[in-house]
Amino acid sequence: MIAQLRNASPRREAVFMAVAAVILIALPWIMPYIGGYRELATRILIWGIFALGFDILVGFTGYLSFGHAAFWGIGAYCSGYYLLHANANALVAILIGVAVATAVAILLGYLTLRRHGIYFAILTLAFAEMFYYAALAPLQDWTGGDNGLTGIRTPELFGVKLDGDEMHYFVAAWTLLAIYFARRIARSPFGLMLRAIKSNETRLQSTGVNVYRYKVTAFAISGLYAGLAGTLYALYETYVPTESLHWTTSGEVVIMSVIGGFGTLIGPMIGAGIVLYLENVLSASTEQWLLIQGLIFMFFVIFLPGGVMEGLQRLADWGRKRHESATEAEARGAAPKGASAPTAPLRQRSQKG
Amino acid sequence: MALLDVGGVTKRFAGLTALDNVDLKVEAGSVHSIIGPNGAGKSTLLNVLTGSIKPDRGSVVFDGHGLVPLQPYEINQLGVARVFQSPEIFPELSLLDNVMVATFAARDGSYKLNLFEHPSRAGELRQFAEEVLVDVGLEEHLTMPAKHLSRGDKRRLELAVCLAHRPRLLLLDEPTAGMSQTETHSTVELLRKISATGMTKIIIEHDMEVVFSLSSRITVLHQGRVIADGPPAQIREDEAVQEAYLGGVHL
């Protein structure tokens, strides 16, 4: 998957981005036909950006964070605060939210990436929870405490109110940018270093690479993506709930990534779509939809640890094999009766190779 | 002046003295073997040289740079590469990407924020990486994940990763361990080929045939101490070495 991504020619990349653009823009019109609503599409894209950036840290670099709610929430609170008290300028709101979230990500990266595995995961979780409780009580004059930030005005872009479809186009543009840059990063020497970190840190150290700095950078990039998604969420909802800093937000993005498939960039975005879509459809008919979500999550972890992307890959492999054996059988059947004996085995061999 | 100068290095682990006042001088262009029975401190010494273990006392000077306070990646960037006892490669990456990591590290230094460099810009590096792979005898399956290689080929790949950095000092920790006779033979040939380029090497090895056929100088460690140091012919005749290490058996 990633190997394919690295070898993509500029033309194929342009085609990919064009197809992605069509899908992202068409999504609100598709949603009502499959039991969703128009704004659900915007919501999916916002979470898709979050999951995409998360994949750069977890899927590529191999460090599972349980604290990315911190960057999502900080982005949301900062841009929400700006919209509430200063101005309706959407771009400035995003800039402020992303800048603060990224700065905090760099700082937390330096602190948490000194540890690996479970210790790293717990450190990130602990820091994110600190922000949650800080927002709840000590900082409630700024964060609105339990109520969150309410009454945020509708953001504007060059005088245009971002509402409904306009908001969706705005978010879709950011999503396209996010996808484009993530794919560039994945293909760059920097992306190769991240995959090398996941593969073998000892070898990378002994190959002259400052592993720690690369890890902090990957962490900061994923924090930037989470911050961007958080700011867009605040703009879209015109409301910042305290849950945006809660650990369940971190857990949600992990679930999305597992269902979509870590390390594939597009997979986690698809995972975000599946989770939010099911949440919407199932919660309408049953209150136990979290139970069903849990079952789906378990199914993927046990039977398809590579997520939807692995499933698609397997389907493609299976289809190709079927196609190959079909053409092989056809070739054998179509061979003229008088053909000399050795040709058939020869043909078979050449097809295998 | 020696390329590598180790002076009075001592390292203790919870009561065990792994290295006891070790001196070692490695001349540029030489192939210097370190031998000794298991637990003599050979691997600990390599760990001190590459910076993964800090000595309690003593100095390590490589080409005028003191290595003791440096991180492993800084030592590698100065030109010291290491082939580990059990091959350390990037199992999930392709053979080519394994070597590309090293070529990028050689070009960009220990860190570079080149997030958006297009792969087509690395054409020359890619060609160089392919050449290095051919040099170690891995010219096939360049896009296959490295984990599918045999143990011997993993070692070759690791060697290619080290060579792609054009090191001035190459440390080899038992390069023929766990290899069949044919594999050992081809590895020795490969190491000879590299020696022809004048690259300085330190080799830890148990196979005495390999040691005596490759080395220009041999240092013998025993219980963390240097008990002999000299050209192969002298080591072969050394009484203390035969007594302590070879158990009195003549080579």
Chain B CB contacts of A208 under 8 Å are: 73, 76-77, 102, 105-106, 109-110, 165
User: Residue B249 has what pLDDT?
Assistant: 53
- Name the pLDDT band for A66 (thresholds 50, 70, 90): very high
Q: A178 vs A156, A224, B69, CA distance in Å?
A: 21, 10, 41
Does B60 reach chain A within 8 Å, measured CB to CB? no
Provide the 8-state DSSP code for B145.
B
Give the chain B residue whose CA is nearest to the CA of A191. Answer: B115
Predicted model pTM: 0.89
Q: Is A193 left (phi over 0), alpha (psi -120 to 50) or beta?
A: alpha
Residues A128 and A200 in one domain: yes
| B106 vs A: CB within 8 A | yes
- The answer to whether the Cα torsion of A282, A284, A290, A291 is positive or negative is negative
Tell me how far CA of residue A129 lies from CA of A71, A118, A324, in angstroms.
12, 16, 54
Residue of B nearest to A217 (CA): B113
Give me the residue from B76, B93, B108 closest to A206, CB to CB: B76
Q: How confident is the model at residue A283 (pLDDT cuts 50, 70, 90)?
A: confident
Q: Mutate which of B104, B140, B173 to test chain A, going by most A C-beta atoms within 10 A?
A: B104
* Dihedral sign of CA atoms A172, A176, A181, A186 in order: positive
Q: Looking at chain A, which residue has its C-alpha nearest residue B166?
A: A207
> Is the pLDDT reported for residue B101 higher than 60?
yes
Same domain, A126 and A265: yes
Residue of A nearest to B88 (CA): A203
Q: Is B126 on the interface with A (CB under 8 A)?
A: no
Give the model's confidence band at B178: pLDDT under 50 very low, under 70 low, under 90 confident, else very high: confident
Average predicted confidence (pLDDT) for chain A = 87
What residues make up the domain containing A69?
2-305
Tell me the per-residue pLDDT of B82-95, one tens digit each, with 9 for 90 and over: 999 888 999 999 99
Q: What is the DSSP string of A148-183?
A: -B--PPPPEETTEE--THHHHHHHHHHHHHHHHHHH
- Cα distance from B99 to chain A (closest Cα, Å)? 10
Q: Is B119 exposed, middle or buried (0-12, 13-18, 19+ CB in 10 A)?
A: middle
- What is this model's ipTM? 0.91
Q: B133 to each of A203, B155, B162, B175, how far by Cα in Å?
A: 17, 12, 11, 17
- Residue A16 confidence class, pLDDT cut points 50, 70, 90: very high
Interface probe for B, chosen from A177, A202, A203 (most Cβ of B below 10 Å), is A203
The share of chain A scoring above pLDDT 70, in percent, equals 92
Q: Which residue from A142, A210, A175 is spatially nearest to A21, judged by alpha carbons?
A: A175
Question: What per-residue confidence (pLDDT) applies to B247?
Answer: 61
Token digits of residue B71: 């991180």
Touching check for B161 and chain A: CB below 8 Å? yes
Does A161 or B24 have the greater pLDDT score?
B24
Looking at the predicted structure, is the pLDDT value of residue A352 above 90?
no
- How far is the C-alpha of B78 from the C-alpha of A251, rounded, in Å? 43
Confidence at A89, pLDDT banded by 50, 70, 90: confident
Please tell me whether residues A328 and A204 are part of one structural domain: no
Q: Average pLDDT for residues A292-318, to the nearest whole number?
A: 90
Q: Which residues of A touch B143 (CB under 8 A)?
A: 3
CB-count burial class (<10 Å; 0-12, 13-18, 19+) for A95: middle
Q: Sorting pLDDT into bands at 50, 70 and 90, what band is A333?
A: low
Query: Whole-angstrom Cα distance, residue A207 to residue B202?
Result: 17
Angle at the Cα of A316 (from A186 to B95), degrees rounded to 5?
A: 45
Residue at A311 is within a domain: no
Region B182-201: mean pLDDT is: 84
Q: A324 and A200, same structural domain?
A: no
**Interchain pair A198, B104: CB under 8 A:** no
Residue found by looking up tokens 């599409």 in the block: A41
Helix (H, G, I), strand (E, B) or coil at A30: helix
Q: Is residue A346 part of a domain?
A: yes
Q: Report yes or no on A12 lying in a domain.
A: yes
Residue A85 lies in a domain: yes
Nearest to B161 among A3, A188, A207 (CB): A207
B101 vs A contacts (CB less than 8 Å): 192-193, 196, 204, 207, 209
Residues A329, A221 share a domain: no
State whether A249 and A335 are in the same domain.
no
Q: Which residues of B75-104 are buried (b: 16+ CB within 10 A; e: fewer)?
A: bbbbbbbbbbbebbbbbbbbbbbbbbbbbb
Query: Which of A200, A202, A204 is nearest residue B91 as measured by Cβ atoms?
Result: A200
Separation in Å, CA of B113 to nearest CA in chain A: 7
| Residue A26, pLDDT above cutoff 60 | yes
Q: Are residues A329 and A285 in the same domain?
A: no
Tell me the nearest-neighbour CA distance from B159 into chain A, angstroms. 11
Asked if residue A145 and residue A95 are part of one domain, the reply reads yes
- Determine contact, residues B131/B139, Cβ cutoff 8 Å: no
Burial of A80 (0-12, 13-18, 19+ CB in 10 A): buried
User: What CATH number does the domain located at B83-166 have?
Assistant: 3.40.50.300
Of A207, A213, A217, which has the smallest distance from its Cβ to B105's Cβ?
A: A207
Burial of A289 from C-beta contacts in 10 A (0-12 / 13-18 / 19+): middle
Point out the least confidently predicted range of A300-304, B17-21, B52-56, B236-240.
Answer: B236-240
Contact B90/A208, CB-based, under 8 Å? no
Residue A35 shares a structural domain with residue A169: yes
> Looking at domain B1-79+168-251, which CATH architecture does it have?
3-Layer(aba) Sandwich (3.40)
- Shortest CB distance from A3 goes to which of B81, B122, B143? B143
pLDDT of residue A97: 95
Residues A236 and A331 reside in one and the same domain = no
Tokens of A100: 């603060």
Measured between alpha carbons, how far is A259 from A84 in angstroms, rounded to an integer?
A: 36
Q: What integer pLDDT is reported at residue B54 of this predicted model?
A: 94
Give B81's contacts in chain A (Cβ within 8 Å): 206-207
* Token pair for B13: 């682990």
Q: Burial of B249 by CB count in 10 Å (0-12 exposed, 13-18 middle, 19+ buried)?
A: exposed
- Closest residue in A to B111 (Cα) is A210
pLDDT digits (tens, 9 = 90+) for B151-170: 888 989 999 999 998 899 99
Residue with tokens 């990315």: A68
Instruction: Assign residue B16 a region (left: φ > 0; alpha: ψ between -120 and 50; beta: otherwise).
Output: beta
Mean pLDDT of A264-288: 90
Beta bridge partners of B94: B145
Quick one: closest CA in A to B143, which residue?
A3
Instruction: Answer whether residue A343 shows pLDDT above 60.
Output: no
pLDDT at position A31: 87
Residue A194 to residue A183: CA distance in whole angstroms: 13
Q: Quick check: A211 and A59 in contact, CB under 8 A?
A: no
Note whether A176 and A265 are same-domain residues.
yes
The model's confidence at residue A260, banded by pLDDT at 50, 70 and 90, is very high
Closest chain B residue to A199, measured at CA: B90
Cβ atoms of B129 and B103 within 8 Å: the answer is: yes
As a whole number, the mean pLDDT across chain B is 89
Tens of pLDDT along A98-123?
Answer: 999 999 999 999 999 999 889 999 99
At residue A242, the pLDDT reads: 87
Q: Are residues A200 and A347 in the same domain?
A: no
> Does the pLDDT at position A344 exceed 70?
no
Q: How far is B168 from chain A (nearest CA, A)?
A: 14
Contacts of A255 (CB under 8 A, 6+ apart): A271, A275, A293, A297
- Phi, psi torsion values for B26, nearest 5 degrees: -115, 120
Q: What is the pLDDT of residue B212?
A: 87
Q: Which of A207, A211, A217 sits opposite B165 (nearest CB)?
A: A207
B46 within 8 A of B33, measured Cβ to Cβ? no
Q: How many domains does chain A have?
A: 2
Residue A8's pLDDT is 63
Mark yes or no for CB contact A196/B116 under 8 Å.
no
pLDDT over threshold 70, residue B245: no
Which residues from chain B sit within 8 angstroms of residue A213, using beta carbons?
Answer: 110-111
Q: Which residues of B touch A306 (CB under 8 A)?
A: none
Nearest CA in chain A to B171: A206
Best-predicted range by mean pLDDT (A282-286, A318-322, B158-162, B247-251):
B158-162
| Domain definitions of chain B by residue range | 1-79+168-251, 83-166
**What is the Cα–Cα distance from B114 to A194, expressed in whole angstroms?**
12
